[in-house]
Structure 1
Amino acid sequence: MTPDRSTPRRAAARRFSLPRDARWERLQRAVLAAGAAAVVAAVLRQAGFFAQASDLAMLLGPLGIALMAAALPVRARAPDVLRWDGAQWWWQQAGEPLAVTPDVFIDIERWMLLRLNPAVAADGATRRGRQPVRWVAASRGALGAQWTLLRLHLFLARG
C-alpha cells in the first residue's frame, strides 16, 4: 500500500541568522568603484584632459581604484534575520520586520544570491508602501549547520 502524498508539504517555522558575506560586499564595492572611475575617466578624456593617454592607461586607472576599494576592510555588522513563520517570509535588519518573497537568483551549491521582494498583499498592494528590492548573499561557510535547512525552506516554503 502506497502512503497518501496528496497533501502539500509545508516547511516548519524557522529563523535563519544571515551574517554579512565580506567577499560579496568587497565585490560590490569594487564593481561600483570601477564603474564610477570609468565614467569619470571617460568624461575627462572626452573633455580633453587625457587626450594623449593610451587605452591601457585608461583601463588601469579604474582597475586600480577597484582593487583599492576591494582592499578596504568590511565593517562588522549584526547579522540580518530571514524568518519563515509557516505562512510568510520576514526579513529583519535593524528595526521592524518586512514581509518579503525570496527568490533564489543564483545557486551554486556553496553560495546563493537571494532577491528579497516586498510581499504583495491580497489586494495587490505591497505592504508598508513601496520597499526596495534587497539582495542578500548567503554562503555555506557563513551559515554552517543552517545551510541545508535554509536551502530546503527556500525551495519548499512558498509565501
Structure 2
Amino acid sequence: MTPDRSTSRRAAARRFSLADDPRWVRVQRATLCGGVAAALVAVALHAGVADGIGPWLGLVLASLAGAALPVRAPARAVLRWDGAQWWWQRAGEPLAITPDVVIDLEQWMLLRLNAAIDAEGVRGRKPPERWIALSRSAHEAQWAPLRLHLFLAAG
C-alpha cells in the first residue's frame, strides 16, 4: 500500500530572531567607500589634479578602510510565520511580507523581504523592499528550521 501524498505539507507557525551577518555589513561598507573614492578619483583625474597610480591606491585603501570599520552588534528583528502569512518586526508594528530567497549557499543566505500583496493585488506601502543576509554560524540553532520554513511556506 502506498502512502497518500495528496495533501500538501504546511509549515507550522514559528518565530525566528534574526540579525544581519556582520561580514555582509563589511562588504556593503567596502563597496560604499570604494564607490565614493572612485567618484573622487574620476573627478581628480578629469580636473588634472592627479595622475599615476596614487589615486587608484587611494581607492583601494578607502575600500579596505570601509571594510575595517568595527561593526556594532546588529539589532535583532523577528521573522514570523503564522501558518498562513510571513511577518517582519524590527521596531514598531509587524509588517506582512513575502520573503524571497535570492541566494542560498547552505551556509549563507540572502533574503529579500517584500511587502505582502493585499486582496486587491496592491503591494503594501512600507517597506517596499528589505534585504537581509544570514549565515549559519550566526543563527546555528534556528538555521535548519528557518530554511525549512522558507521553502515549505513558499509552496
Tell whether the structures are fold-level matches, with TM greater than 0.5: yes
Give me the whole-angstrom Cα distance separating, in 1, the residues matched to 2:7 and 2:94: 30
CA contact (8 A) 1:102 1:117 kept: yes
Contact 1:88 1:158 (C-alpha < 8 Å) held by counterparts: no
Task: Map Cα deviations across residues 95-140 of structure 1 (whole Å, 9 max, x no partner).
Answer: 121111111111111000111111111211122x252311101111
Measured in 2, the distance between the counterparts of 1:143 and 1:5 equals 32
Aligned residues: 155
**What's the % identity of the aligned pairs?**
63
Match of 2:61 in 1: 64
- Hey, what does 1:93 align to over in structure 2? 90
Alpha-carbon distance between aligned partners in 2 of 1:25 and 1:78, rounded to the nearest angstrom = 13
* Structure 1 residue 143 corresponds to structure 2 residue 139: yes
The answer to whether the 8 Å contact 2:101/2:109 transfers is yes
- Structure 2 regions of 5+ residues with no counterpart? none
Compute the RMSD of aligned alpha carbons: 1.4
Partner of 2:3: 3
SS in 2 for 1:141: coil
Task: Report the 3-state secondary structure (helix = DSSP H, G, I; strand = E; otherwise coil) of the residue aligned with 1:102.
Answer: strand
Alpha-carbon separation, structure 2, partners of 1:60 and 1:133: 35
Evaluate the alpha carbon distance shift between residue 20 and residue 131 of structure 1 in structure 2; reply closer, same or farther with a 3 A threshold. Answer: closer
Segments of 5+ residues of structure 1 without an aligned counterpart are: none
SS at match of 1:135: strand
Deviation digits for residues 9-59 of structure 1 (CA, Å, limit 9, x no counterpart): 110010011123111101101111101110111022112211xx21x3332
Amino acid at match of 1:65: A
CA distance in 2, matches of 1:36, 1:81: 33
- SS of 1:145's equivalent in the other structure is helix
1:158 CA displacement: 2.4
Q: Is the 8 A contact 2:41 2:56 kept in 1?
A: no
